[in-house]
Amino acid sequence: MSVAVRKNQMDMCHGPLLRKIIVFAVPLMLANIATMMFTAADLIVLGHFADSSAMAAVGAAPAFTTLLLNLFWGISTGVNVLVARFIGAKDKKNLSKTIHTAAAVGCYGGLFMAVLGIILTPFVLRWMAVPENIIDKSALYMRIWCMGIPFMILFSFGSSIMRSMGDTKRPFIFMIVAGIVNVLLNLFAVIVCKMDVAGVAIATTISNAVSTFLTFRYLACYGGDCAVHWKKIGVSLPLLKEMLRIGVPAGVQGMLFSVSNIIIQSTLNSFGWQAIAGSTAALSIEGIVHSTFTAFVLAVVSFVGQNHGAKKYKRIMKSIWLCMGSTIGIAVILIVIVSIFKRPLLAIFNPDPEVIEWGCVRMNCQFVFYWLLGLMEIITGSLRGLGYSFWPTVVTLMGACVFRVIWVFTIFPYFKSMENLMLSYPVSWAIVSAVNGFMLFIICRRMLRDASNRKFDDLSV
């Protein structure tokens, strides 16, 4: 392995954990923030330079866009866990097979989801009760956006491979380059070409293609043991089965989350386009905050995965606690800062006073509890890093998705307000955190007990 490759990889099984977690998470955090800010740029450009309803058209169906991707985002977790495990176990043969299986699944799966999304778009938007004055623009945006799904899935898989190597700097650089392309194309398409939602969708698709190209070009040329060789791309059925075993429950969980969010979005759409625009602006701000602690969620999957492969059980425990503490601490600090400046921040997206008021309603009810979301995701990520995916998914689906749907059809009809609708989120986060947290406690206690009875297991940190 070359010096350049070793420099961009990380040994997560030895050395000071906190420093390595920070070195791993900070570039990832910056990449996530950059991604969300570049996405926010789409809305800001539309809010200031396009028709007043264009921003609402883009924000009318975010749950549907997430639904199309969540299955493969879940599978990328399976890729992350397996690659990290084989790196920790120094199993180069299965490591290479996993990477090339992931590339094949990303290519074929991405094309399938793109076609499916284009076909389903008009039916889903009608079902979601998108207002008539914006539904045509929403459909146009969605169909163009769907053409970029293969690039988004492949980038997700490629960045998962790089995270498992311990390399989070390269994905950050690639996202910055793609984000700059996105912003420049947004401004050109909307201001110069007057293309509003179509221009934003085209810019997003092109920028996703750029990030995917850069990621796989790097893996092909400098990936070392994780290199992608185009002639080797194909499916290893045993590894695909294990990848799906870990990843599909996470993906199905995400998809059902999206279904519950579609139901909530459909209810929210009934408040009118200004409520949609305000909620979209608030969601974008929340997304930037969420992206900061998502870095530690991804870190815990990789660190737990590598150390599980190397049988470093006490190091697994320390990784979980450090990532959990970092996530909650960062979330609380950002919640306080953003809550103080929420009105000026919302005005950046759209200066309409009514849009700002709707955005404040959402943030007052949901955003202050965002630390619970971070706690929930760290616990779930820890379980998946340990190879447990099915039962955490069942708990999350029941405690969040099913609970929210029940809330919409039972509690909401008696108190029809945005506040009531948004409160379903933090209550569900608390329920899932409590149940999955208890499950993680039991699994870790059993793991340490069993390891202490086997002399060959390494219980050092």
Instruction: Give the pLDDT mean for 37-64.
Output: 73
> In the numeric block, which tokens belong to residue 244?
């799906």
CA angle 143, 197, 50 (to 5 degrees): 170
Q: Tokens 């947004």 — which residue? A: 186
| The predicted structure's pLDDT at residue 288 | 81
d(CA 320, CA 191): 47
Burial 296-327 (b: 16+ CB within 10 A, else e): bbbbbbbbbbbbbbbbbbebbbbbbebbbebb
Tens of pLDDT, residues 167-213: 778 888 898 898 889 889 988 988 888 888 888 889 989 999 999 99
Q: What does pLDDT average to over the chain? A: 83
Per-residue pLDDT at 29 exceeds 90 = no
* pTM of the shown model: 0.68
Tens of pLDDT, residues 146-156: 999 999 989 98
Instruction: Give the pLDDT mean for 424-437.
Output: 91
In DSSP terms, 452 is beta-bridged to none
Report, in angstroms and rounded to the nearest whole number, the Rg of the chain calculated over CA atoms.
22
Cβ-based neighbours of 19, under 8 Å, separated by 6 or more: none
Q: Residue 16 carries which DSSP code?
A: -
Is 441 in contact with 297 (CB distance < 8 Å)?
Answer: no
